[in-house]
Structure 1
Amino acid sequence: MANHQWQLGLVQGTGHDDPEAALAAMESGIREAAGQGADLVLLPELHNGPYFCQTEDPTVFDRAEPVPGPTTQRLGRVAAETGTVIVGSVFEHRAPGLAHNTAVVLDRDGSLAGTYRKMHIPDDPGYYEKFYFTPGDTGFRPVETSLGRLGVLVCWDQWFPEAARLMAMAGAEILLYPTAIGSDPRDDAAEQARQIEAWQTVQRGHAVANGLPLAACNRVGHEPDPAGGPGIDFWGRSFVCGPQGEWLEQPGGSSTGVRVVPVSRRRSEEVRRMWPFFRDRRVDAYADLVKRWRDDTV
């Protein structure tokens, strides 16, 4: 292993109505992170504009673009210029009426190293993603890059231990989550605090259970509902944790910004030797996990 650690940059950003301004802000953040030594940069989910899934609007499909396409070409140029691997997010137009929420990975030479199409698609008040996104079909497979095997998942995927486990089983060296999550402004402070703690805790659990470092890069700021609803207060609070769930970078605040965090590539080997959860799985006894529910009472 030539490089024993990543310098992981998180670009915590807000939604812009203008796609050009949104992508320019991400590009600026990538360059800032690279200037601080980052060789791997993680962006938020759907960073090219506002979080449009608060309403169901057929005209929004006009925002979708192919992969490869304009965003991957532009991020690829930035990756090559800065020598970074970039994990970005695209509203992917695959065919007429068929779109995905797709993470894209650009390698340090500017090439498209791979993609991951979001598998778990929410359909909740304020998050009407099933109207726009077809569930992914790329499977839970890491993307091979010049910096190693990246286990890229997207937002709602972060609540499912199965997704993290399958990425780990396929040899992912780190779990990376572009994210867009927040609270209803009508929720009281105690409820919002519980939501944020749950979000952090479940992901730290994935790190512990799989012996892997993990990072989540979230949107930040209030985004209004075009239909006149309460909108969403995106939390920000992007973070990085190690393979024992330890904070490598404490959750950030609720403002835009860039942080660069050193992440060891050796630590997983050390932790899995001493805390061998991954080794001791009883894979012969888990067949029922592929069922929706167990109806037997025995």
Structure 2
Amino acid sequence: MPIKSPEAPLTVACLQMEPVFGDTERNIATSISMIEQAAAQGARLMVLPELCNTGYVFASRAEAFALAETIPGGPSTRAWCNCAAQLNVYLVAGITEREGESLYNSAVVIGPEGFIGRYRKVHLWGDEALYFEPGNLGFPVFKTRIGTLGCQICYDCWFPESFRMAALQGAEIVCVPTNWVPIPGQDPHREAMANILVMAASHSNSLYIAAADRVGTERGQPFIGQSLITSYTGWPVAGPASVTQPEIVIATVNLADAKRHRNWNDFNQVLKDRRPETYEPTGVVK
């Protein structure tokens, strides 16, 4: 089957699942089952949650190290590569990575031909700093036959620079494996703050964003679900998903629109209007 060009419609899916801590084999089987379901609905780009192969709430660095895998040689990446080849799809999935004595909260980017690359979470949240090193690969983008993909993980979304770096390097869609948790001060009658941040980043950078969260409670830590896919306009085209249940969030988009329609009018284009020479602190005006 030929790969669709970036000028053609592309069906994207966020696979909101509930990993079982420490049961990598079961988690991979669950992820592959959801990938197969999404592929049957026409999805060709799929995003899975953060650390979806192991679970998230580690009790110690030793526990995290024991569950971590090398990339791309570890069993999780190999299983996803086999699945992607069989179904002719692209996957972005969160994984606990080991490189030598270092641990990273990472995402793998996989296509029908196999492993494409990795992203390592730059901004660590909470106890992650006890187990993981901050990402050391920057914000790479990956040129594929379906378009140019960027990656971020969870807390990275709180930093506008993360999305801007992806946009400036030509990304059309940013894939976000995430494990969003309740945020203090959240109005229960409003959309999740994470959703608002993703919508704003899509709008201010003219990017599609596909954010795949998890659900459930792990070792006392609840997760909030609400996976979504946003258009380059900032508005959701699918989701937010359930707060409590696994769910496939799916939408058909045209990634080329992220670049084609960055001009808001005859005068304004969100990336060209930047004035970086003014973005350094100038001190307090008295």
TM-score if structure 1 supplies the norm length?
0.87
Tell me which of 183, 188, 200 is aligned to 2:195. Answer: 200
Where do 1:19-58 residues align within 5 Å? 19-53=24-58, 55-58=59-62
Per the TM alignment, residue 194 of structure 1 is displaced from its structure 2 partner at its CA by 7.4
Identity of aligned residues (%): 31
State the Cα distance separating 1:146 from its structure 2 match.
Answer: 2.2
Classify the secondary structure of the residue corresponding to 2:71. coil
Paired residue for 1:168?
167
State the match for 1:235 in structure 2.
224
Distance apart, 1:35 and its partner CA: 0.8
For the aligned residues, what is the CA RMSD? Answer: 1.9
Q: Which amino acid aligns with 2:188?
A: A
1:139-154 mapped onto 2 (5 Å cutoff): 139-154=138-153
User: Is it true that 1:72 corresponds to 2:77 in the alignment?
Assistant: yes
TM-score in terms of structure 2 length: 0.90
Separation in 1, partners of 2:271, 2:31:
36
Q: Distance in 2 between matches of 1:297 and 1:191?
A: 32
2:20 match? 16
Equivalent residues in 2 for 1:1-298 (5 A)?
A: 3-17=7-21, 18-53=23-58, 55-68=59-72, 69-96=74-101, 98-109=102-113, 111-123=114-126, 128-183=127-182, 191=186, 193=188, 197-224=192-219, 231-253=220-242, 254-274=244-264, 276-288=269-281, 296-298=283-285
Q: CA deviation at 1:276?
A: 1.4
The number of equivalent residue pairs is: 275
Gaps of 5+ in 2: none
Where 2:170 maps in the other structure, the secondary structure is coil
Q: Is the 8 A contact 1:207 1:214 kept in 2?
A: yes
How far apart, in 2, do the equivalents of 1:4 and 1:161 lie? 29
Q: What is the CA-CA distance between 1:57 and the residue it aligns to?
A: 4.8
Q: CA deviation at 1:221?
A: 1.2
SS in structure 2 at match of 1:207: helix
Judge conservation of contact 1:37–1:260 (CA < 8 Å) in 2: no
Name stretches of at least 5 consecutive residues in structure 1 with no aligned partner: 225-230, 289-293
Partners of 1:155 and 1:181 within 8 A in 2:
yes
